[in-house]
Amino acid sequence: MYYIKRAERTVNVFWESVAIEIEKSIAKLKSEYQNKQKPVYFDFRDACNQWVKRSDKYTHLIHRYPAKLLPYIPIFFLFDPKCQKKKGYLLDPFAGTGTVLLEGITHPYNKMDALGVEINPLARLISKVKTTPLKTSVLEKKADDLLAAISKTRRQFEIPQFPNIDLWFKRKAQRDLSRIRYHIEHLRDSNYKDFFWVCFSSIIRRSSLADPKIAPPVVLKEIEYSDKKQTEKVRKQILEKQNPRSIEYFNEEIIKNIKRMNEFSNVMKNESVKSQIVWDDVRTLKKGNCAYKGQIDKSSATNISGVDLVITSPPYINAQKYIRTLKFEIIWLGLMDYSELIELDKQFIGTERIYSDDYSEIIQVGENIADNTIKQIYEKNKKRAGIVAYYYQSMATGMKKIYDALNPGGRFVLVVGNNLVLGKRIQNHKILKNIATQQIGFNLDFIAKDEISSRGMITKRHETSGIILDEWVIVLSKN
C-alpha cells in the first residue's frame, strides 16, 4: 500500500509540473498578444505531445466525422490554473462527436463534468456513446447474441426509402444493412443498443458506392493516378463495393469499438465525473436529457448555469456540409427521413438554406468589419451576403447564451477559421472577437494562431470556401 501511495504522489507531482509549464505558456501568450496586438503563433499539438499522445485513444475514433477539433486544444486549456479545483461544468455548445467532452472527463490532471450541445442527431448519438462507459463483458455477450441472430435470418426486412438509393447502394448492401438494422432495433437496454447503432452507422459509407475519401457522397470512379499503387487500390475498392460484405464490416467495427470502449471504461473506473449531451441548439441553450438514439428530452428542461470553462469550435460560414455528408447514416439509422433532413439543414449555424426575405435588403449586424464585408458581398451576390449576416446574428445569439451560462471568472475558448466567400477571405476571428467583447461583454485575454496540419480534418470545406490553413484560438473570459 505504501508503494501504491508513493506512486500516486509521483504521478500527481508530474502532472502538477505539467500544469506549471502550461501556466507559463498561457502567461507568455497573453503577454505577447498584449504587446503586439496580433495573434501569436502557437502549436498546441507540440505543446502537449511531450506529455500526452492522441490518435486512436479511448473512444476518439469510434466513428468518422468531418472537421473534428484537435484534442490537444482542450487538453491544453484544462491544465489552465483558472479552471482547476473548480466544481463547475465544462461546456461545448458545438459538441460534434464529443472530442472536448471526452477529454474533459479523462483529463490526467483536471477532470470536469461536461455538458454538450449539438444540433446534428447523429453527432449527438456518437458523442453520447463515446462518453458513456459500458461494461466490456456485457458488450461482448450482446455482440455475440446480435451477430448470431443476424446470421440465422435470411428473410427480407424493411429498407429505408430515399432518392436514388439504388445509385448509392447495391441490392445486396440494402438487404444486409436492413438485416443488421432490424436486429439492433430489437435489442434491449438503450445505452448498449446505442453502442451498436454507432457501429452500424460507421459501416454505411463503406457499404455504399461512395468514394471513402470525399466527405459529401460522390460515386467512386476509376481514375488513372501517376502512382500505380494508388490506381490499383481504387480498382480494388470499386470491385469490393460491387459486392459489399456489410455483416463482416459490422463484426469488424464491433471488435474495434469494444476494444476502444474497454480502454475508456477502464480509465473511468472509480471516477465520479460524467459527460452529458443536454441540448440541440446553442441559440436556445437549455439543459434537457439525452435519451435513446441521441434524442433530447426537453420535457423538464432548465437553464444552464455554473459553467467554468467553455471550449468549442463552431461551424464556418457556408462551409462543411454536415447533413449532406452524413445523410446516408442518418436515414439508415431512422434518425430522420429525407424531408426532415432538409428542414434540419436550414437550422444549422452557417447554413446556405436561407429564405429570400433574409437577403431582400442589406442586413447589418453591428460590427464594423462584418457590416463592411456584408456590403461588399451584397454587391456581387445578395444571397451570399444574407448567409454571412445570418451566421453572425446566430453566433451573437449563441455567444450571449454562453456568457449567461458562465460563472464569473469563467473562460471561453473559441476556435475558428477564416474561410473564403466569393473569393473574399472573411476575417472571422476578428469579427467574432469584436462581437464577443463589444456587444456581449467578454474580456479578451489573447488570440493564438495554430497551423492546421494532418489532423484528419477536411481543410477544403467547400468549393467556394478555399483551403483553411490556420485556426484562430480566441481566449475570452467573464468578469
Distance, CA of 298 to CA of 180 (rounded, Å) = 30
In the structure, how many helices (H) and strands (E) does the chain have? Answer: 17, 12
The b/e string for 424-438 (b: 16+ C-beta within 10 A; e otherwise) is eebebbbbbbbbbee
**What is the three-class DSSP state of 420?**
strand
Q: Per-block average pLDDT, block size 10, for the chain (479 residues)? A: 52 88 95 95 94 92 92 95 83 97 96 97 98 97 97 90 95 97 94 98 97 91 83 92 97 98 96 96 97 95 97 84 90 94 91 88 95 95 94 97 97 94 90 98 97 51 54 96
Residues contacting residue 318 through CB under 8 Å, at least 6 positions apart: 350, 351, 352, 384, 387, 391, 421, 462, 464, 465
pLDDT, tens digit, 9 for 90 and up, residues 134-185:
999 999 999 999 999 999 988 889 999 999 999 999 999 999 999 999 999 9
In the chain, what are the helix, strand and coil shares in percent, each to the nearest 5? 50, 15, 35
Residues contacting residue 471 through CB under 8 Å, at least 6 positions apart: 70, 313, 415, 416, 417, 449, 450, 452
Say whether domain 2-133+268-477 belongs to CATH 3.40.50.150: yes
Tell me what pLDDT residue 368 has: 97
pTM of the model: 0.93
Tell me what pLDDT residue 457 has: 38
Query: What residue spans in the chain does CATH classification 3.40.50.150 cover?
Result: 2-133+268-477
Tell me what pLDDT residue 271 has: 92
DSSP 8-class letter at 412: E
Would you put residue 423 in left (φ > 0), alpha (ψ -120 to 50) or beta?
Answer: left
Q: Are 104 and 276 in contact (CB under 8 A)?
A: no
Distance, CA of 73 to CA of 91 (rounded, Å) = 14
Calculate the CA dihedral of residues 337, 96, 187, 288 and round it to 10 degrees: -90
The b/e string for 218-252 (b: 16+ C-beta within 10 A; e otherwise) is eebeeeeeeeeeeeeebeebeeebeebbbbebbbe
Residue recorded with cell 461494461 = 135
Tell me what pLDDT residue 458 has: 42
Distance, CA of 97 to CA of 37 (rounded, Å) = 34
Element (H, E) at 473: strand 470-477
Distance, CA of 466 to CA of 424 (rounded, Å) = 10
